[in-house]
Structure 1
């Protein structure tokens, strides 16, 4: 027990107070993440959309995410990460508040497009801010701290969302609006006029630019990084079934109540909150980044395949636990690889392109997931998802070695 406690302490040591504050802002923002897991259920249950129409609206959310990721990276390099994060947070609040008033297929799809664009420009800017306040040797832990905050909020959000949706779906959107507003106030109060603490000495950065000009390659023509991003996309397309088709599967096939769905999805966030820093700290010492991404993808594949065999609730929790392990081994290190590849002056562009992988997943994942579930069945969806993740594991093995060698 003492050894585990020491590892926890070591995991958090060396992180700046700015990194902690970025995580707190993310926690406040993501505590309001109660809409997305219930969005498919809201569209089919409250608005009466078909499963395929629901997939169209969710895909529009993904298109907005794609636009937001690209735009967020571009704007961050032009305006700075502070302005982009502040704009995103303060525009998100009113957009969430008015969302329940758009109830036709066309208007709901358009609002999802606008909302996701605004919320998604936050992420590349936030990722760049993390790199500004973390030492190079702590960068994965800084990203993990931020993800820990995301998942703590995500564990609260769905559980709270399941409770609120029993009374009114509108409360989901109002809750998200309040959370985004509070996060914006906290962010402005702490970071306004705060000097960025980039830990790299300027003269050292100039030497690095001369010695390793590859870091200053154009992010949009860096084919090795683009290949890596393709496999990031296939992982996210498969993994993000947890946010759209998996809740529909719980409701329509497993026949869980909305409270049970919220608790089950929230369990994933709780596992990541509790274990990620410990697991990342351990994995960094035992394996290379290439190995971590490979094993994490395989574990995630196993977790999804379990849904195709049984609907027992205890097994559902076991599958979610395995999925959380896979998530913890993959997602933080995608940001690490991106940060290692990026140059001194184009971090926003690289983070934006990497963010496109998740944004593309928001488009493809719900559309193809609901299509397969409708045309075939959910079992076919889960086995197909597992196969995609196995292919991705080998894709990571190839592309990561091309980018960072044996690190």
Structure 2
């Protein structure tokens, strides 16, 4: 137990104060993200939209996310991550209040598109900030810390949103606006003072002599982003087909499904930093991604043979382990591939794969389930994952990375404090 605690504490130490502040801003911002989980219910119950109309509005959310990431990367490279993050946090707050007053399909579609677009300007700028404030050897752990904040926020947000929605749906939009505004105030007050003074100079090393080129002209990296999308498409089933499968085939009620989904977030928050630290010590960035991609395969194959509750938990554990090994390291690839002045486009292209998957997966899943059933879907997902795995192997050969030394590997004789 002592060794476990030391390892757990060790995984968090050594990260810069700005990295912790970025995570705090992300936590507050994502905790305030209350509208999305209840948006479909809000449209059906409060606005009395048809199922088809609700689907149209939700599709505009995905489109806004896609274009917001592209624009966020472009703006970050030209104006810096500080200005773009401030713009996103402060501009999205009044948009939430405006959308709360919209009650027609065209108006709400435009409003949701605007919210998604402005909110996702934040993502590439925030990722670029992480690469600026973290030491090269700590970049992956800094991304992991940010992901932990996102997972915590998405755990608290729906809970608070459910309480507010039970009183009035209007409170959801006010809660979102307040969360974004508070996050913006904290971000501005802290980073307005430290943005020039505490940037880690050692991180300005240019990897692969890639100082000016846009990510959109870097063909090996575009291929990498495509491989990530192939992985993300089946991964997004955890938000789409998997809950439906648990309900329709495993006969689980909503409380049981919520418990399994909550378990996924809990183990990610509890163990991701430690797993990432261990992976950094033992594997290269690419090998960690390859290992994580392999773990998700049995997670889906389980559904072909059983719906036993214990096996469903094992499946979710494998999918969560895969997520922890793949996602922080895919962000690291972008950070290492980018130069000093093009981080925004690389971080944006890294996020585009997930945005595309968010658009593709719901449509593709329903089509496959209707034609071939759930077994056809899981086999298709495995095919996507194997294809992504092959692509990652090829990318490892054609796009080598100059990886920084990991501080935790200094010496076996080093004390815990020395290693940090």
TM over 0.5: yes
1:184 aligns with 184
Q: More deviation in 165-174 or 6-15? A: 165-174
Match of 1:301 among 286, 297, 304: 297
State the alpha-carbon separation in 2 of the partners of residues 108 and 309 from structure 1.
Answer: 42
Contact 2:336–2:401 (Cα < 8 Å) also in 1: no
Shift of 1:261: 4.4
For residue 399 of structure 2, give the secondary structure of its aligned residue in structure 1.
helix
1:372 aligns with 2:373: no
1:342 aligns with 2:338: yes
Structure 2: runs of 5+ lacking an equivalent: 404-420
1:326 aligns with 2:327: no
Q: TM-score, normalised by structure 2?
A: 0.85
1:217 aligns with 2:213: yes
Q: Tell me: CA distance 1:234–1:110, structure 2 relative to 1, closer, same or farther (3 Å).
A: farther
State the alpha-carbon separation in 1 of the partners of residues 391 and 361 from structure 2.
Answer: 19
Name the larger-Rg structure.
Answer: 2
1:358 aligns with 2:359: no
2:16 aligns with 16
1:199 aligns with 200
2:32 aligns with 32
For residue 345 of structure 1, give the secondary structure of its aligned residue in structure 2.
coil
Shift of 1:381: 2.8
Q: Relative contact order: is structure 1 or structure 2 higher (C-alpha 8 Å, sep ≥ 6)?
A: 1
2:131 aligns with 131
How big is each residue's C-alpha offset from its partner over 1:225-278, in whole Å with a ceiling of 9 and x where there is no partner? 000000111222221232344445555665655555444333222211110100
1:84 aligns with 84
Contact 1:35–1:161 (Cα < 8 Å) also in 2: yes
Contact 2:93–2:176 (Cα < 8 Å) also in 1: yes
Shift of 1:190: 1.5
Matches within 5 A, 1:160-309: 160-161=160-161, 171-196=171-196, 197-200=198-201, 205=205, 208=206, 212-214=208-210, 216-250=212-246, 259-309=255-305
State the alpha-carbon separation in 2 of the partners of residues 382 and 166 from structure 1.
Answer: 36
Contact 2:337–2:401 (Cα < 8 Å) also in 1: no
For residue 220 of structure 1, give the secondary structure of its aligned residue in structure 2.
helix
Q: More deviation in 297-306 or 269-278? A: 297-306
Q: TM-score, normalised by structure 1?
A: 0.87
How big is each residue's C-alpha offset from its partner over 1:137-193, in whole Å with a ceiling of 9 and x where there is no partner? 111111111111111222223444455556665554443333222212221221123
Q: Tell me: CA distance 1:82–1:390, structure 2 relative to 1, closer, same or farther (3 Å).
A: same
For residue 198 of structure 1, give the secondary structure of its aligned residue in structure 2.
coil
Shift of 1:369: 2.6
Contact 1:237–1:365 (Cα < 8 Å) also in 2: yes
Q: Tell me: CA distance 1:93–1:342, structure 2 relative to 1, closer, same or farther (3 Å).
A: same
Q: Note the aligned Cα RMSD (angstroms).
A: 2.9
Contact 2:369–2:376 (Cα < 8 Å) also in 1: yes
How big is each residue's C-alpha offset from its partner over 1:91-141, in whole Å with a ceiling of 9 and x where there is no partner? 222333443544544444333322111111101110111111111111111
Q: Tell me: CA distance 1:142–1:405, structure 2 relative to 1, closer, same or farther (3 Å).
A: closer
1:382 aligns with 378
Contact 1:154–1:266 (Cα < 8 Å) also in 2: no
1:317 aligns with 2:313: yes
How big is each residue's C-alpha offset from its partner over 1:62-91, in whole Å with a ceiling of 9 and x where there is no partner? 211111111001111122111111111122
Q: Tell me: CA distance 1:275–1:49, structure 2 relative to 1, closer, same or farther (3 Å).
A: farther
Contact 1:59–1:366 (Cα < 8 Å) also in 2: no
Structure 1: runs of 5+ lacking an equivalent: none
Contact 2:304–2:378 (Cα < 8 Å) also in 1: yes
